[in-house]
């Protein structure tokens, strides 16, 4: 199925999608911070570069986009360039498993939340994270 957008327009659309500081991530961080909990964001010294981390508590938090990580509840693979997207989502899921294994091996607690969980109830997500901070 051909793309309904030209290559230039599709490129512009895709380049505007953020991987850091997404609205679900910001919503959770704002609640946690307002409750007096402190943390680091996108710390490259922590394996996997978690969205939220605390080295002292050995806590790594990831807030995964439903599309990019293949949420079974929300994700629908685009019909345009379908094999590319299936492989992309699969590689993202494999990478997350590798990160989870490594963090566990290193003694870290890892929490992962789906974008739809945050959008549905950001306070509950923030509460679960705050309990460990």
pTM score: 0.84
| Percent of the chain at pLDDT exceeding 90 | 70
Q: Which domain holds residue 116?
A: 20-132
Residue 14 falls inside a structural domain: no
What's the pLDDT band for 13 if we cut at 50, 70, 90? Answer: low
Residue 12 falls inside a structural domain: no
Residue 5 falls inside a structural domain: no
Residue 56 falls inside a structural domain: yes
Q: How many CA atoms lie within 13 A of 28 on its CB side?
A: 31
Average pLDDT over residues 57-61: 97
- Total structural domains in the chain? 1
Residue 11 falls inside a structural domain: no
Residue 4 falls inside a structural domain: no
Residue 92 falls inside a structural domain: yes
CATH at residue 32 = 3.40.960.10
């Amino acid at each position: 199925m051909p793309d309904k957008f030209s290559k230039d327009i599709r490129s512009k659309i895709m380049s505007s999608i953020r991987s850091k500081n997404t609205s679900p991530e910001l919503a959770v961080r704002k609640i946690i911070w307002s409750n007096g909990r402190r943390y680091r964001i996108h710390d490259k010294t922590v394996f996997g570069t978690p969205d939220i981390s605390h080295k002292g508590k050995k806590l790594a938090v990831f807030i995964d986009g439903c599309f990019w990580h293949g949420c079974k509840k929300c994700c629908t693979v685009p019909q345009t360039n379908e094999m590319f997207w299936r492989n992309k989502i699969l590689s993202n899921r494999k990478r997350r498993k590798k990160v989870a294994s490594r963090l566990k091996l290193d003694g870290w607690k890892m929490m992962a939340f789906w974008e739809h969980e945050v959008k549905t109830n950001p306070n509950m997500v923030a509460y679960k994270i705050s309990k460990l901070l």
